[in-house]
Amino acid sequence: MVVGDISTGTDVLVIGAGPGGYVAAIRAGQLDLDVTLVEKDAYGGTCLNYGCIPSKAMITASDLAHEAGHAEEMGIYADPEVEMGEMVGWKDGVVDQLTGGVEKLCKANGVELMEGRAEFASEDKARIVHGGEGQGSETVEFEHAIVSTGSRPIEVPGFDFGDDPVLDSRQALALEEVPESLVIVGAGYIGMELAGVFAKLGTDVTVVEMLDSVLPGYEDDLARPVKKRAEELDIDFHFGEAASGWEESGDGITVRTEDEEGTVSEFGAEKVLVAVGREPVTDTLELENAGVETDENGFVQTDDRARTNVDHIYAIGDVAGEPMLAHKASKEGQVAAEVIAGEPSALDYQAVPAAVFTDPEIGTVGMTEQEAQEQGFEPVVGKFPFNASGRALTTGHADGFVRVVADEPSGFLLGAQIVGPEASELIAELGFAIEMGATLEDVAATIHTHPTLSEAVMEAAENALGHAIHTLNR
């Protein structure tokens, strides 16, 4: 029996409960709005369930296993045994704790949770299709809507994620056994993070990238230490080659690639992971029924208040375009909720940090030196290497550097780039400095705890001013 369509109403309909959607819903609830949050899969979205959190858990676990077995120079001799199923079980426990917390927080803030897939019927109505036979659907009338349906992995022609040996990142993070060999298509941040995980667990990893280097979009001197470390882990790279197909062979598969000249190469492996980027999930929403426009790639264009071309419909997170970052989505969700509530809120992207959890990590915020020049500034650059940091040396991880970019006449910080240990944590200080309008003098004059990695931030600022103590000045 199919349950008939029923109708309800709400001030704010939030579609998608990822790090943008659930934050928007909670903030709207805090502002005394009636909120309905619709999710078709799992609260927390891709980030908490299949991306950010599980990948970082697996990075931590694989790092621990590898370091325990490679610490002879510290006088530690060990041969750790990895039980992949137990590792994945621990990872899943972390995920369950966080996603359960999201659901409780939503309920505690008065958010009505609804399971199903939402599609627009008009500019003020959405139909929620419930999963399962006989579950039917219901119509929700709304004053405002926030679209936060996230993104999904891009498929490469000939590599169907439904085929057993072909993996996306979600499937790779759920493997119960360590594959003996793995071909990774794509050397972006997802491909490189997972290449490190599996290499440290003992997998023979080959990375195929159609461009000429790892981590396209990052400056060469940031990507170079990552590639060097990956090669030390025996990861094999093949650049300028595009994956063209695969076939079963023996106990595994053969992956074919082709370069610009048409030369075909073949790589044997047990599995192939495709990580060539992500695309917005907007094709299931029937956005045209609400009059919401998308660009040629399916992204929804928004203004600095997260509004689409339809004033009372908002879009946040991955569906609103690059950069596809969970923390950007969360901030956009907060702003959208506050704008709906009549608050004077707006988005400011000048200090949005980004991090890559490779070995070593990368953290960036604000402008590069080149970008500063292009925008008419007179940049001055300060740099401090981690091999001059006492704390970095005591961790056994001293590759990389901290670099700051400032406007020389005024001293105002414009950007920063870090590659090295804990870069993802260190970049926050520099993001804060840029956001508050700090100068090089402000950062250099702030006493940093010794011995810590954060001293490298202080010394980089001092280097830009010409008086760093523990490195030669420019």
Question: How far is residue 25's CA from residue 14's CA, in Å, rounded to a whole number?
Answer: 7
CA dist 92 → 21, 54, 172, 357, 358 (Å)? 22, 7, 13, 19, 21
Interacting residues of 473 by C-beta distance below 8 A, sequence separation 6+: 463, 466, 467
Report the C-alpha gap between 252 and 255 in whole angstroms.
10
Sheet of 252-259: strand order equals 241-249, 252-259, 264-269
Cis peptide leading into 451, omega within 30 of 0?
A: yes
Calpha distance 73→389 (Å, rounded): 19
Q: Pairing state of beta strands 35-39 and 112-115? A: parallel
Sign of CA dihedral 406, 412, 415, 418: positive
Catalytic residue among 66, 450, 467, 470: 450
The DSSP secondary structure of 271-312, one letter per residue, reads: EEEE-S-EEE--TTS-GGGGT--B-TTSPBP--TTSB-SSTT
Q: What is the dihedral of CA 53, 54, 55, 56, to 10 degrees?
A: 50
450 is annotated as an active-site residue: yes
* Active-site residue list: 450
